[in-house]
A and B are shown apart, each in its own frame.
Chain A
Amino acid sequence: MRNIWTIAKREYDHYFASPIAYAVAFTIFLVLGIIFALNIFYYIQNSFQSFGSAPDVGPITGAFTFMLVLSVPALTMRLVSDEHRMGTMELMLTAPVRDSEFIIGKWLGGFLFILTLIVVSLVYPIILNNLVTPGIDQRVMLSAYLGLILISASFLSIGVGVSAVFSNQIASFFVTMIIFVFLWWLVGFPAGMVPVGGNVFSYLDMKTHFYDSLNIGVINLGDLVYYISLTALGLFTGTTAVEMRRWR
C-alpha cells in the first residue's frame, strides 16, 4: 500500500510540472465554461415558457466525460512508456516493489490528478445552485459526479494498461484513443442491427452506463460493476504486461 502511495505521489507531482497536464486542464475548463454559460443562457431565454424543468449538472458532467475521452490518452501515454524509454523501468523492477503496486501507483497518480480537476469543476454546480430556486437536484448531482469519477477511473486504468504494453508514447496515445472510441461510440452501433446478442453490445457500450443512468440520477449496481470491472481489467493488463517484460 505504502509503495502505491509513494509512486502515485510522484506521478501526481509530475503532472503539475508538465505542460500537457496544464493544456488538458485548460481545455477541459474552457469547454466546460462555454457549455455552462450556454446552458444558463438557454434557460434564461426560455424561462417564461415554464417547462417544469430546472437546469441540472447533466450538461457539465456529460461534457466532462466527453473531454476525458479526448484528454486521458494524453495524460496516461507517458506513465509507463516513459519508464521503458528512459530505462528507469530497470530501477523500478529491481526496487522492492510488486509489479501490481507499480501499476496501481501509476494509475492512482493519474486518477488523483483527474480527481483534482473534478473537484475544481464543482464550482459549476455551486454557481448553478445559487442561480436556481429552490436549488438544483442534489441527488442527480451526486450521482452524475459518481459516474464521472467511475469513468475517470476506468479510462485511466485502460490508459495505464496500454502504456505498460508500449514503450513508445505515441503508440500508447493512439491505441488508448482507439479503445476509447471503440468503447464509447462504436460498440453501441451493432446493438440495434444484429438479430441476437444485441444486448451484449449495448452492455459493453460505455456511455449507456452513464448518460442513461448515472447522469440523470439513476444509480444501478450493474453500472457500478461495469466501471469497476473495466478498471480492474485495465490494471490487470498493465501488471501482466510488466510481468511479461521480465520474462522476455
Chain B
Amino acid sequence: MIKVTGLTKDYGARRAISNVSFDAEQGEIVGFLGPNGAGKTTTMRILAGYMPPTDGEALVAGYDVVSESLEVRKRVGYLPETVPLYTDMTVFDYLKFMAELRHLPNMEDRVDEAIEMVGLEDRAMGFIGNLSKGMRQRVGLAQALLHRPEVLILDEPTIGLDPSQVVDVRNLIRNIGKERTVLLSTHILSEAQNICDRVLIINKGRIVTEDTPENLQARLVGSERVILRVRGEADELTTLVGKVKGVENVELKPDGTIEFDFAPGKDLRPEVARTVIKEGYDLLELRPVGMSLEEIFLELTGADAKNK
C-alpha cells in the first residue's frame, strides 16, 4: 500500500530526511517513532501529496506521489500535526465542505458517519472555533476518515487528548487498521507499543531501525531478565538460583530481590520457582523485566548520536 524508496527532502541547505525507505501493507498499522525534528512530519507530508521529495520515490495505493498526486490524495486520509481547521465553520459544515471536495456520494450520511466515529454528535452544529483542542483533534480525524480512505496518515493523532479520549482514538485506529493501512507518527513510546504492528524508529532524518515492537525488545535485550522476590533473606538463594541450568548473571540487588537472565525463548521461571519452593522459601514475586521501548529508543537514538 505504501512503498517508499530512497526518499530525501532538503529544505534549502538543511536535509530533513535522508534516504528513507520502508513498506506498509494493507491491514497494517505502522508507527513512526522519533524525537521532534526527526523527519516524521516531512515524510508524512510527502506521502500525503503536500510536497514533492527532493529525491527518491514514494508509491501510495499504487500511485506515485509526484506524478499522480491527485490520485494519491483521493485515496489518502491525512491528519496534519497542526490539525488545521476552518474555525469559522461548524463541524458539520466543515466536514460537508471537505466531502464536497472529495465528490462523495450521500454526502450528509457520510458526514454523519464520520462524526459518529469520532463521537462528536452533540457538537456537530457548534463552531469549530469554540471546540477544545481534543475535540478539534477529533474533527481532524473525522475529516481524514470521511472518504473511507485506503491509506490513513496520522501525524501525532492522540496529542492533546485526555486519557479516555486517547483510549477511544487508539481503539478507533486499531479497528481501522484491520482493513486499511495506517501510518501514524508519535513520540509516545507506549502508544507505538500499544497499537502498531510495526515500528520505524527515525532519528535525524534516517530510519534507525524497523521491527515489530516485540522483536525490537527481544533484539535489543538479547536475553530476558527476571526479578525474583522472596520473603526474608535471599543471600543463600542467590547461589542456588545460579545453579539452575541456563540461568546467567545472577545478582542480588540491595533491596533484597534477585535478578537473573536467561536466553530468550527458554522460559526458566518454572524451574526457578521449583527451586525456591524446594529450598523452603516463600515466593512473593517472579516477573520479567522487559526493556521498554523507551529504553530501546534512547539506546538507538543515543547510540546514533555517539557515532557522530
Question: Quick check: A96 and B102 within 8 Å, CB to CB?
Answer: yes
Question: Quick check: A246 and B51 within 8 Å, CB to CB?
Answer: yes
Interface residue A48 (Cβ < 8 Å from any Cβ of B): no
Interface residue B157 (Cβ < 8 Å from any Cβ of A): no
Question: Quick check: A94 and B73 within 8 Å, CB to CB?
Answer: yes
Interface residue B240 (Cβ < 8 Å from any Cβ of A): no
Question: Quick check: B101 and A246 within 8 Å, CB to CB?
Answer: no
Contact among A87, A90, A95 with B98 in the assembled complex (CB-CB below 8 Å)? A95
Bound complex: CA A95 to CA B78 (Å)? 9
Interface residue stretch chosen among A2-10, A54-62, A137-145, A221-229:
A2-10
Closest approach, in angstroms, between the C-beta of A95 and any C-beta of chain B?
A: 5
Interface residue A44 (Cβ < 8 Å from any Cβ of B): no
Bound complex: CA A89 to CA B82 (Å)? 11
Question: Quick check: A91 and B84 within 8 Å, CB to CB?
Answer: yes
Interface residue B88 (Cβ < 8 Å from any Cβ of A): yes
Closest approach, in angstroms, between the C-beta of B160 and any C-beta of chain A?
A: 15
Question: Quick check: B80 and A87 within 8 Å, CB to CB?
Answer: yes
Interface residue A93 (Cβ < 8 Å from any Cβ of B): yes
Render B32-56 as a binary contact track against A, CB cut-off 8 A, 1 for contact: 0000000000000100111110000
Interface residue A247 (Cβ < 8 Å from any Cβ of B): yes
Render A234-248 as a binary contact track against B, CB cut-off 8 A, 1 for contact: 000000000000111
Contact among A2, A6, A94 with B97 in the assembled complex (CB-CB below 8 Å)? A6
Render B103-115 as a binary contact track against A, CB cut-off 8 A, 1 for contact: 1000000000000
Question: Quick check: A247 and B100 within 8 Å, CB to CB?
Answer: no
Q: Which residue of A lies closest to B97 (CB)?
A: A10
Q: Which residue of A lies closest to B47 (CB)?
A: A94
Question: Quick check: A88 and B97 within 8 Å, CB to CB?
Answer: no
Total A-B residue contacts, Cβ distance less than 8 Å: 58
Complex interface: chain A residues within 8 A of B78 (CB): 94
Listed residue (A6, A94, A246, A247) with the most chain B CB atoms within 10 angstroms of its CB: A94
Complex interface: chain B residues within 8 A of A120 (CB): none
Bound complex: CA A44 to CA B97 (Å)? 53
Bound complex: CA A3 to CA B87 (Å)? 21
Interface residue A97 (Cβ < 8 Å from any Cβ of B): yes
Render B67-97 as a binary contact track against A, CB cut-off 8 A, 1 for contact: 0001001101010101011111000000001
Bound complex: CA A88 to CA B86 (Å)? 7
Complex interface: chain B residues within 8 A of A87 (CB): 80, 82, 84
Contact among A2, A7, A90 with B50 in the assembled complex (CB-CB below 8 Å)? A90
Question: Quick check: A96 and B73 within 8 Å, CB to CB?
Answer: yes
User: When A90-B80, A90-B84 are in contact, do A2 and B103 touch as well, CB less than 8 Å?
Assistant: yes
Listed residue (B76, B102, B143) with the most chain A CB atoms within 10 angstroms of its CB: B102
Contact among A6, A14, A90 with B88 in the assembled complex (CB-CB below 8 Å)? A14
Question: Quick check: B97 and A96 within 8 Å, CB to CB?
Answer: no
Interface residue A17 (Cβ < 8 Å from any Cβ of B): yes
Question: Quick check: B74 and A86 within 8 Å, CB to CB?
Answer: no
Question: Quick check: B50 and A94 within 8 Å, CB to CB?
Answer: yes
Complex interface: chain B residues within 8 A of A88 (CB): 84-86
Question: Quick check: A94 and B100 within 8 Å, CB to CB?
Answer: no
Bound complex: CA A210 to CA B245 (Å)? 99
Question: Quick check: B52 and A94 within 8 Å, CB to CB?
Answer: no
Bound complex: CA A224 to CA B87 (Å)? 40
Complex interface: chain A residues within 8 A of B74 (CB): 96
Question: Quick check: B84 and A93 within 8 Å, CB to CB?
Answer: no
User: When A17-B88, A87-B80 are in contact, do A97 and B101 touch as well, CB less than 8 Å?
Assistant: yes
Q: Which residue of B lies closest to A5 (CB)?
A: B100
Complex interface: chain B residues within 8 A of A246 (CB): 50-52
Complex interface: chain B residues within 8 A of A98 (CB): 70
Closest approach, in angstroms, between the C-beta of A10 and any C-beta of chain B?
A: 6
Question: Quick check: A247 and B73 within 8 Å, CB to CB?
Answer: no
Closest approach, in angstroms, between the C-beta of A220 and any C-beta of chain B?
A: 40
User: When A10-B97, A246-B52, A247-B51 are in contact, do A95 and B82 touch as well, CB less than 8 Å?
Assistant: no
Bound complex: CA A94 to CA B52 (Å)? 12
Contact among B45, B52, B85, B102 with A95 in the assembled complex (CB-CB below 8 Å)? B102
A 6-51 contacts with B by CB, 8 A: 6-7, 10, 14, 17
Question: Quick check: B101 and A3 within 8 Å, CB to CB?
Answer: yes
Question: Quick check: B82 and A96 within 8 Å, CB to CB?
Answer: no
Bound complex: CA A14 to CA B94 (Å)? 12
Q: Which residue of A lies closest to B73 (CB)?
A: A96
Question: Quick check: B70 and A91 within 8 Å, CB to CB?
Answer: no
Bound complex: CA A246 to CA B102 (Å)? 21
Q: Which residue of A lies closest to B76 (CB)?
A: A94
Render A75-90 as a binary contact track against B, CB cut-off 8 A, 1 for contact: 0000000000011111
Closest 10 CB pairs of A and B: A87-B84, A88-B84, A96-B73, A6-B100, A96-B74, A94-B48, A87-B82, A246-B51, A90-B80, A94-B78
- A-side residues, CB < 8 A to B, are 2-3, 6-7, 10, 14, 17, 86-91, 93-98, 246-248
- B-side residues, CB < 8 A to A, are 11, 45, 48-52, 70, 73-74, 76, 78, 80, 82, 84-88, 97-98, 100-103, 143
A3-B101, A86-B84, A94-B50 given. 7 additional CB < 8 A pairs? A2-B103, A87-B82, A90-B82, A91-B84, A94-B73, A94-B80, A248-B51
